[in-house]
Amino acid sequence: MRFEGTDFTGAHAEGHSFLECSLIGATLDGAHLEGSRWSECEWDRVDGVGLTFSEASLADTTVEGCRLAAVSAWGSTWRDVTVRGGKVDFLNLRGARLKDVAFVDCVVVELDLQEATVDGLTFEGCTLAAPTFGRGTYAGLDLSGATLRSPVGLAGLRGATLSRLQVIDLADALAAELGIRVAD
C-alpha cells in the first residue's frame, strides 16, 4: 500500500501489521501505533507530533527526511532500520531492542536510550542533543560519527564506541558523573 499525503492525525492502529507500505508526505500527529508491526516499509517526509509507538516493531524499514516530535517508542524492537535526514525531537527508546539500526545525517534531540539493548546502532553525521544513557546494554552502540551535546548517563556506556576526540571533549562530564574531582 502507498499512502501519499494522507492525514492520519489521531488514528488508532494499535496492534496492526503494515507490510511493504509506503508513507509519503503523511501526517501522524497523535497517532496510536502501540504494538504495531512494520516490515519492509518506508516513511518519506512524514511529519508527526505525539506519536505513540510503544512496544511496536520495525524491520527492514527506512525513515527518510521525516520531522517527528514526542515519539513514545519505549519497549519497541527495531531491526535493520535506517533513519536518514530529518529531525526527531524527544525520542523515547527506553527499554527498546535495537539490532543493525543506523541514523544518518539527522538531528535527534533528547534521545532516551536508558535500559535499551543495543546490538548494532550507529550515528553517522548526526547531532545528538541531550541524549540519555544508563542501565542498558550498549556493546553494539557506535557514537563515534556523532556530535554529542550535553549527554547524560555517560558512566553507563560500557561497551559503546566513542572517538578519541569525543572522549576528550566529554572528559569533564564523565568525571563529574563518576564523582571524580579534576584539579587544574
Residue 46 CA, chain-centre distance (Å), reads 15
- Residue 85: pLDDT band (50, 70, 90) is very high
Give mean pLDDT, residues 5-31: 97
- Residue 14: pLDDT band (50, 70, 90) is very high
> Residue 68: its pLDDT value, please?
98
Look at residue 184 and tell me whether its pLDDT is greater than 90. Answer: no
Mapping DSSP to helix (H, G, I), strand (E, B) and coil, where does residue 93 land? coil
Domain annotation for the chain: domains and CATH numbers = 2-177 (2.160.20.80)
> Residue 102: its pLDDT value, please?
98
Enclosing H/E stretch for 169: helix 164-169
Contacts with 98 (C-beta within 8 Å, 6 or more apart), sequence order: 77, 78, 79, 81, 116, 117, 118, 119, 120, 121
> Residue 110: its pLDDT value, please?
98
> Residue 8: its pLDDT value, please?
97
Look at residue 126 and tell me whether its pLDDT is greater than 90. Answer: yes
Grid cell for residue 26: 503523511
pLDDT digits (tens, 9 = 90+) for 133-163: 999 999 899 999 999 999 999 989 989 999 9
Look at residue 17 and tell me whether its pLDDT is greater than 90. Answer: yes
Which of the pair, 76 or 155, is modelled with greater confidence? Answer: 76
Residues shown for the chain = 184
Q: What are phi and psi of 46, to 5 degrees?
A: -85, 140
Give mean pLDDT, residues 164-182: 92
> Residue 140: its pLDDT value, please?
92
- Residue 54: pLDDT band (50, 70, 90) is very high
Radius of gyration of the chain (CA): 17
Closest to 126 measured CA to CA, from 141, 151, 143, 150:
143
C-alpha–C-alpha distance, residues 52 and 46, integer Å: 15
Mean pLDDT (the chain, rounded)? 96
Residue 38 CA, chain-centre distance (Å), reads 16
pLDDT digits (tens, 9 = 90+) for 25-44: 999 999 999 999 999 999 99
Instruction: Assess contact for 160 and 136: CB atoms under 8 A.
Output: no
pLDDT > 90 in the chain, percent: 94
